């Protein structure tokens, strides 16, 4: 029984190696550089998509404005043509009246040309908005491709780490099954408190957990205790394994 107990303490150190490996893998999982890059790309994509939506909206507004000017110009031209039709229909013979009708036609056409000029301005504005829409659209497409590439890299890296963690966990479970539950509880509590080490090898008078020395009398006492006697480091509190 006593011999088994000293083997047990070595197994506890092996189990701790698994725990440390699992911690490292978790840390690697949490700090995958591709995930940070993916977040950056997604943030930029969101901003570009918003700019794209805003620009499309402004472009649509310009199209509506263009159409409105075009409709108004068209209706002014119809009116002018209608007045001209009357002028040349022979219905009106008074020179004074014909002069007034001509003035109407001129005024309607002036107004129409004014609207057409404004329509041209809007068209120019809309054309430069079209260029911007195309630019944001292209950029959004690039970012989407980049995000999808990064997302699959992240997934692959995560899956790889998950698999390693599963392997470490299985190995840990095998070790945990042969360890005394009280010792394991004690180790887990101490490891949680020390944030990393629950057990450490005693080399000479140095605890390999905190790398501080314990009194040599104490080190000697631990080394000459019956195998499996559980002792703790006064400095970091971890279980000392001679
Ligand atoms: Zn220590």
Mind listing the pLDDT tens digit for each residue in 67-120? 999 999 999 999 999 999 999 998 888 999 999 999 999 999 999 999 999 999
How many angstroms separate the CA atoms of 182 and 118, rounded?
A: 87
Q: What is the CA(15)–ligand 1 centre distance, in A?
A: 18
Q: What is the CA(213)–ligand 1 centre distance, in A?
A: 8
Q: What is the CA(29)–ligand 1 centre distance, in A?
A: 29
- Which DSSP symbol is given to 213? B
- 1 is written with which tokens? 């029984």
239-241 and 199-203 beta bridge pairing: parallel
Strand-pair partners of 232: 239
Q: What is the CA(167)–ligand 1 centre distance, in A?
A: 29
Percent of the chain with pLDDT over 90: 87
Rounded to 5 degrees, what are φ and ψ at 217? Answer: -65, -45
Nearest to 238 by CA among 202, 187, 204: 187
pTM, full prediction: 0.72
Q: What is the pLDDT of residue 80?
A: 97
Q: What is the CA(240)–ligand 1 centre distance, in A?
A: 8
- In this model, does residue 5 exceed pLDDT 80? no
How many angstroms separate the CA atoms of 211 and 192, rounded?
A: 18
Q: What is the pLDDT of residue 2?
A: 39
Lowest mean pLDDT among 58-72, 113-127, 161-175, 180-194: 180-194
Q: What is the pLDDT of residue 92?
A: 87
Q: What is the CA(215)–ligand 1 centre distance, in A?
A: 12
Q: What is the CA(212)–ligand 1 centre distance, in A?
A: 6
Nearest to 15 by CA among 216, 170, 159, 148: 170
Q: What is the pLDDT of residue 7?
A: 72
How many angstroms separate the CA atoms of 128 and 123, rounded?
A: 9
What digits encode the pLDDT tens for the residues 63-78?
Answer: 999 999 999 999 999 9
206-207 and 231-232 beta bridge pairing: unpaired
């Amino acid at each position: 029984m006593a011999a088994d107990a000293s083997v047990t303490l070595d197994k506890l150190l092996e189990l701790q190696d698994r725990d440390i490996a699992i911690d490292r893998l978790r840390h690697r999982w949490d700090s995958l550089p591709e995930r940070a890059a993916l977040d950056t790309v997604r943030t930029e994509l969101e901003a570009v998509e918003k700019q794209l939506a805003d620009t499309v909206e402004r472009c649509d507004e310009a199209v509506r404005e263009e159409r409105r000017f075009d409709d108004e110009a068209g209706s002014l031209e119809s009116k002018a043509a209608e007045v001209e039709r009357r002028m040349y229909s022979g219905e009106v013979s008074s020179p004074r009246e014909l002069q007034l009708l001509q003035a109407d036609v001129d005024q309607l056409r002036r107004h129409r040309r004014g609207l057409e000029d404004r329509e041209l301005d809007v068209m120019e504005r809309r054309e430069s908005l079209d260029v911007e829409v195309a630019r944001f659209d292209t950029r959004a497409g690039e970012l989407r491709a980049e995000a999808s590439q990064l997302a699959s890299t992240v997934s692959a890296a995560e899956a790889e780490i998950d698999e390693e963690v599963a392997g470490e966990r299985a190995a840990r479970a095998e070790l945990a099954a042969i360890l005394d539950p009280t010792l394991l509880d004690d180790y887990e509590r101490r490891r949680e408190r020390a944030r990393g080490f629950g057990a450490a090898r005693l080399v000479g008078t140095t605890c390999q957990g905190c790398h501080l020395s314990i009194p040599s009398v104490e080190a000697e006492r631990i080394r000459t205790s019956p195998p499996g006697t559980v002792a703790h480091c006064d400095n970091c509190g971890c279980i000392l394994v001679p």
